[in-house]
Every structure is written in C-alpha cells, then in structure tokens.
Structure 1
C-alpha cells in the first residue's frame, strides 16, 4: 500500500514515535509516507532523526519528511493526525496559575474548567486553519484524527465549522479497562468485555463482563477497595462509583476537576487525592510532569536516539486507536474501539450536537457507531453540564465573543462551586490579556479587558494550591530513576 500520513504537532516527540511504530507494525504499511510538521524546527529535527533511525534499523523503505510548512506536509495526505499544544507550556502555565488566584485548583486543566476552556480558545482558531488546508490540499476523502485536548471542543469545531471528516481519539477507556481487569484478577483485558459511553474524560463503564459473567457495582467496589494501590490512588473515583453505580474512565485527578464537589475547598482536595503520582490529583500536576518530561528529553536525547536503533516488536504495539483505525480502513480487518464523534442520537439521552465518546466498529466503510445507548441518569446529568460548557466555549472561540466566553467559564461545574460571577469576569479578563498572543479572535476585546483590570476591586491571592509540588531537576529525576531501577 502507498498513501501519505501527515502528523501536525509532530514535535510531541514521544507520542509521535509511538504512533509511528504502531503504524509500522502493520505489514502492509511499510511503503507509506510520513510527513511531519510543527512550528518548532528544533523539535522536528529531533523527531525526524529518531524516526529515520527506526527506519534504518528495521530496513524499511518508509519515507519520512519534516517541514515547518504545514500545507506542504498536508499535500496529498489521506490521513492527518493532530497532537498540537497551542501556546506550549508557557500558555499552559497561565491556565493553572491565574485560576489559582481565584481559588480554582486544577490538576490538569486541559478539558473543561477555567484552564481547559482557555486552552480551547487557543486551539480552535488553529484547528480551523488546519481544516482549511486539509480541504484545499489533502486527498478528497481525507480523515482527520485529533489527539489534541480539549478533545471534545477541538473535534466539535473541526466537524461543525472546519467541515472535515474528523474523529477524536483518547486512551482513557483503555486505561480504565486495564485497571478493572487487574482488580478483578483477570490475566489480561482480553477476558474483559465492556460498553463504555459518555463524553471524553467523562466516559462510563455501563456494562462489564468478565469471561461473559456480568460484573455489578458491589463486586466492583469491593474489588477496588481491596486493591493495595488503587484503594489509595483512586479514592474519589471509587466514591463516584459507589454513588453513581458505574466506574469512570478518567483518572482520580482528572475526574476531580470535572465535578463541583471534590475540589471546592482545600481540605476537601487533600482528602480525596493521592500524591504518589501527579495523575491522582496534585495541583498543576500535569504541568509539572510535562515540564519535567520536556527537560528530561532535551537532556537525555542521545539515549532516546540510541533506543530507536532497536527492531520494532509487533507484540508491543500499543492500544492507541490510530494504527488500528488505519489498518481497518485500509485492509478491512474489523476493529472495535471507543471514538469521539458527533452524537446524532447514538446516545439517546445526550444532545444531538454533542461530541460523544462511545463504542464503534471500523472497516472499509468507515467508523460505524453502536447506536441506541442510554446512560444512567446521573452520568447523563454530569455529561450534559460539561456539554453545555463545551458548546458555549466553541461558539465563543468561533465568534470572539468575550461575554459568551465568560458565561461558559461561569457555568463550569468546578468554577461555579468556587467563584462568584465578579471573580469569573475578572479572571477571564486576566487570562485573555495574558494569552493575547494566542487569541487572535479576542484582539478587539483586549484593550477593554486591560482597562477593566486596572480599575477592578475584586480581590485575588497568590496561592500555590492545596497540593503543589516543585518541578524536579534533572539530577533529582536521574536519582529517582536509578532508585526505581535498583528497587525493581
């Protein structure tokens, strides 16, 4: 087979390498072309060197090109994969820092909540630029695979306004299934059958079967509470399982910031999180992790390059959806996964225009969703609260309406549990001013926002959050890795 895959944001080096090796695990794909593009020439050259080393080590004919000219990369592409982070870590730091001044403590801040909404405002204009180029220079029936957060908002904008055939892809369902299989004593996830449905990062295991035997709420609660690690790390998630009756795909830290109940007061935050790893609820945890990972990669790059000389092990192909979708579309080997698409009635008790995450099957005819799913009422209510925020956020990003943006943030569940309307109005002004370089649609609103900030009497505070950790140095990371290796 011969076709072209373009990867936008290919400077996300580790993730691009994973996607690349996954796709090359499909024997028929050895002759396809990869076109890498990014705004960072430095990152592009690093990832190209790694992928070239993989091609050479495995004696493959696979061509790999790299360019900062996005349109050139997209020319003739049959598939386009996006894993961009608009504004990089600089803008992301403001997504965490500024809301903390108003009492809003986020673990990740990339989906909804104050940080996730502003992240969407930065991404959506760029997503629409991608879509324009895709429509104009890619193959006619191109498929856009979006891995970038905020997943639902980006996918919503690409489908509704970008007019490109788009599917959003995440790995939360797979990770949740791995946990469930482990606590139930299964040898692997192959023994576990499940239907998981909802919206991205708020997806619910509404039907679980272990070797064909239905697993109910009580058995699952008991299994998690008996687990020596998850009983500590997933306290909030287990509490939601007890109350809602179904398990959420999302990590303890992520789930905590989508709900109005667990991060509204500092003492509540420390009660429900676990500090053994960032993903379990640490304040700004993902920002710290991302910063450390970038620093580590820059310093240890020669080791990453050397590791690329190893042969591809097809047995270690990851459970990321992209390679499996491409294989199904091109070879007709049917693949079942969980995909982010427009609802259009697939989930009966969520809005038709929402971007849902739900089971589907892929073959030569495309992605075919399993329709007629009804969520438990509590799950639907929680999802709808987020969908309403996402809808307003997308519309604000498209129109540049700062008042609608403020209303979207006001209606966010966690923001509404913590902040007053006056605080929200000022916080959004502050975030828009701080991130003006990445928010062209709000350029007209920045002068007035800056003027309001100069005369505002809304009080703020300098607060690191309820559970903040400092960024570790390269030396500290090396010592920790050495200790883990010795212990293992």
Structure 2
C-alpha cells in the first residue's frame, strides 16, 4: 500500500517517533510516505533525522519529507495528524502563572479550567487553518486525526466549522484500563469494558474481567489495597466511591475538572501525591515538559542512536492512530474509544457535544456504538464541562471577550474559587499576555489593557500549594 500521512506539529519529537514507529509495524505500510511539518525548523530537523534513521535501519521503501511549509506537507495526504501546542511553553507558562495570582491552582491546565480554555482560544483558529488546507490540498475525503489538547474544543471546532471529518484521539482510556487490570489481577487482554463520557471525564460504566462483571465494591477494594494506586490515586478513588464508577483521567487531571478538591490550598495535600507530576503537583505538566525539552536538546545524539534499534524491538503502542489507519486500509476491524460529535451516542448528554465513547473502525470508517446512558452523577459533571466548552468554542470563533469571560466564570474549579470581578480581571490579563497568539481578540486588547490599569481586584504572587522547581539536565541524570 502507498499513501501519504502528514503530521502537523511533528516537532513533538518523542510522540511523533512513537506514532510513526506504530505505523511501520503494519506490514502493508512499509511503502507509505511520512510528511513531517512544524513551525520550528530545529525540532523538525531532529525528528526528520530520527524517522529517516528508522527507515534506513529497517530497509523500508517508505519516503520521509520534512518542511515548514504546511500546505506542501498536506498536499495529497490521506491522513493528517495534529500534535500542536500553539504558543509553546511560553504561552503555557502564563496559562498556569496568571490564574495562580487569582488563587486558581492547576496541575495541567490544557483541557478545562482557565488554562485549558485559553489554550483552546489559541488553538482553534489554527486548527481551522489546518482544516482549510486539508480541504484545498489533501486527498479528497482525507481524515483529520487530532491529538492536540484541548481535545474536545479542538475537535468541536474542526467538525462544526472546519468542514473536515475529524476524530479526536487520546490514550486516557487505555491507561486507566491498564490500572484496572492490575488491581483486579488479570491480564489486559482478559479485561473488557465500556468507557464513555467526554475526553478526560470518561467513565468505565461496564467492566468485565474474564467475562465476569465487576461491581463497584470489588473495584474500590482493589484500588484501596494496591500498594501504589492507593497512594497516587486518592482523589480518583474518592470519586469512585461517591459516583460508583472509575474515571479515566489521572489524579492530577481530574482534580482540576471538578469544583471540590483543589479549591482550598490547605486541603490539597489530602488528595494529591507528589511522587510524580501527574498525581496533582501545581503546574506539574509544565515542569515536566520543560524538563523533557531541555533533556532532549542535550541528549539528542542518544535519542538518534536509539532510533537504530530494529522495529522488531518496538512494541506497537495503544495509540489509536495506526490502528485506525490499518482498519480503514486493510479491513481488519479495530475497537477503540474515540472523540466525535454526540448525535445521540450518549443519550443523556447534549447532541452537539464532543463525546468520547466506544466505536469500531473498518473499511467503511468509524462506526460508533449508540444509545449509551451515563450514570446521573457522571452526566451532570460532563454536562457542566460541555457548557464551558460550547461557550469557549463560540468565543474562539468570534473573538467575543465577554463570552470568553462567561466561559471561564462557569468553569467548575474557577467558579469554586473566584468572584466574577476576579474572573473578569484574570481573563483581561490572560488575553493581554497572550495577545500575539490570539488574533481574534486584537480589537479587545486595548480596552482590556485600560481595565487592567484601573483594576482594584487584589492579586498575589503565589507559586501554588504544591509547586516544584524545574530540574536541570544534570539533576535529571543524577535522579536516574
């Protein structure tokens, strides 16, 4: 088989290597073309060297191209993947630091809460530019596989306004399933489950281990006695006890989508674990990504050397992209969990929402399982987030700063902490700080600056309740 796969944001070097290696594990895909594109020529050149090394070492007839010209990369592509982070670490840093001045302590800030909403404002115009290029120069009927966060907002905008069939992809469901298999003492292939909801708030509503249905009490007991998860996933276990179902998302992620666990700094330690950033550390993902970027820059020769390992040593990952493409191209059926417009798939969530739920892929494309009903508490939590997402997408499309403020005001965690005056001041500050990545708000920035100059809202310089400093490459090496 010969077709073209384009990867936008390919400078996410480690992730791109994983996606491409997975594709090359499909025997029929040895002759495909991989088109890499990124606005950062340095990162693009690094990933080009790595992918070309993989192709050379494994004697593949595949073709690899790399260009900063996105339209060139997309020309003739049948599948397009997006891994972009608009604004990079500079904008991401303000997603965390500015809300902290108003008392909003985020672990990740890339999906919901103040940081995730602003991230969506930066990404959505760019996502729509991608869609325009796909419509104009990609292969007719090309599929857009979006890995970029905020997943629901990006996928919502692309499907509603981009004119391109877009499927949102995330690995949270797979990772949560791995945890469940471990606490139940079964192999992953002995576990069956239905997981449904919205991205990062997806719920394991039916679990079978070796064909036996697993009830709430057994799952709680398994997590509470597990020597690691009982310590790292305290918040998720608490939600499991109260809601009756387990959530896909990590302890740190889940903590910032709900209004109850991060609103009082003095109580945060009760719910998080500092053994790794993902369990609730303040700005944990920002620190992690900063360290990994520095590490990669320093140790690039080592990563290039690792690319010399034969593909026989690479275990194909659970990332959906290669499995979807394999199913469409070969007819080998793949079951996974995908982000698409609801349209009745989940009965008790809004029709226009982007939901994450089970589906099957074959030569006819993606076929979702319809008629799912969430437990009422799960539906209520998801619905609150969907309302925020809907307003956020509309604000990003129109540049309506008042609607943006209303979206942030209705965010569950922000609303638990901030007054309306604080939200209005915080959004003004975020929009001014990120103006270079927010072209749709250009007309709103001067007035926002004037309001900032006259504001009487009190802020504070605060690092958060559980902040750690960024480690140097030397410190990372000494840590093992």
Q: Deviation string for 1:61-102 (max 9, x for gaps)? A: 110000000000000000000000000000000000000000
Residue of structure 1 equivalent to 2:268: 269
CA root-mean-square deviation: 0.6
For 1:268, what is the secondary structure of its paired residue? helix
- 4+ aligned runs moved over 4 Å, structure 1: none
What is the DSSP-based 3-state SS (H/G/I as helix, E as strand, rest coil) of the residue aligned with 2:125?
Answer: helix
**Partner Cα distance (1:425, 1:270) in 2:** 29
The alpha-carbon deviation at position 314 of structure 1 amounts to 6.7
SS in 1 for 2:317: coil
What secondary structure does 1:313 align onto?
helix
Distance 2:50 2:268 in 1: 41
Q: Could you say which residue in structure 1 is the equivalent of 2:204? A: 205
Quote the residue 2:148 is aligned against.
Answer: 148
Q: The residue matched to 2:31 in structure 1 has which SS?
A: coil
For 2:394 and 2:83, locate their aligned partners in 1 and report how far apart those are by CA, in whole Å: 22
1:461 maps to 460
Q: Is the 8 A contact 1:71 1:133 kept in 2?
A: yes
Shift of 1:313: 2.5
Q: Which residue of 1 aligns with 2:82?
A: 82
Distance 1:293 1:314 in 2: 23
Aligned length: 480
Kept in 1: contact 2:220–2:237 (CA 8 A): yes
**Aligned mates of 1:141, 1:19 — CA distance in 2:** 22
Distance 1:114 1:305 in 2: 37
Equivalence map 1:152-167=2 (5 Å)? 152-167=152-167
> Residues 21 and 314 of structure 2 are in contact (CA less than 8 Å); yes or no, is this contact kept in structure 1?
no
Q: 2:259 aligned with 1:296, yes or no? A: no
Distance in 2 (alpha carbons) for counterparts of 1:66 and 1:310 = 22
For structure 1, the 5+ residue unaligned runs are 482-488
The match for 1:392 is 391
Kept after mapping to 1: 8 A contact 2:196/2:205? yes
Q: Which residue of 2 aligns with 1:411?
A: 410
- 1:117–1:393 CA contact under 8 A, matched in 2: yes
CA contact (8 A) 2:235 2:255 kept: yes
The corresponding residue for 2:323 is 324
Residue 192 of structure 2 is aligned to residue 171 of structure 1: no
SS across alignment from 1:248: coil
Corresponding position: 1:345 with 2:344:
yes
Query: CA offsets, 1:200-220, max 9 Å, x none?
Result: 000000000000000000000
Alignment of 1:1-12 (within 5 A): 1-12=1-12
Partner of 1:57: 57
- Structure 1 partner of 2:99: 99
Tell me the CA shift for residue 445 of structure 1: 0.2
1:27 match:
27
- 2:73: which partner in 1? 73
SS for the counterpart of 1:415 is helix
Q: Is 1:236 aligned to residue 264 of structure 2?
A: no
Q: Which runs of 5+ in 2 are unaligned?
A: none
What's the secondary structure of 1:7's corresponding residue?
Answer: strand
User: Which whole-Å CA distance do the structure 2 matches of 1:4 and 1:94 have between them?
Assistant: 37
Helix, strand or coil: the match of 1:149? coil
- Quick one: distance in 2 between partners of 1:360 and 1:387? 21
Where do 1:351-362 residues align within 5 Å? 351-362=350-361
Mapped to 2, the partners of 1:56 and 1:78 lie a distance apart of 24
Q: Is the 8 A contact 1:25 1:314 kept in 2?
A: no
2:250 pairs with 1:251: yes
Cα separation, 2, equivalents of 1:88 and 1:312 = 31
Pairwise CA distance, 1:437:
0.3
1:335-361 deviation digits (Å, cap 9, x = unpaired): 000000000000000000000000000
User: 1:474 maps to which residue?
Assistant: 473
What is the Cα deviation at residue 315 of structure 1?
6.3
Give the Cα–Cα distance (whole angstroms) in 2 for the partners of residues 366 and 59 of structure 1: 31
Contact 1:107 1:281 in 2 (8 A): yes
The secondary structure found in structure 2 opposite 1:247 is coil
Return the TM-score normalized by structure 2. Answer: 1.00
1:256–1:262 CA contact under 8 A, matched in 2: yes
Alpha-carbon distance in structure 2 between the residues aligned to 1:199 and 1:159: 16
Separation in 2, partners of 1:191, 1:127: 38
TM-score, structure 1 normalization: 0.98
Is the contact made by 2:259 and 2:413 (CA closer than 8 Å) also made in structure 1? yes
Residue aligning to 1:441:
440
Is this contact kept in 1: 2:255–2:262, CA < 8 A?
Answer: yes
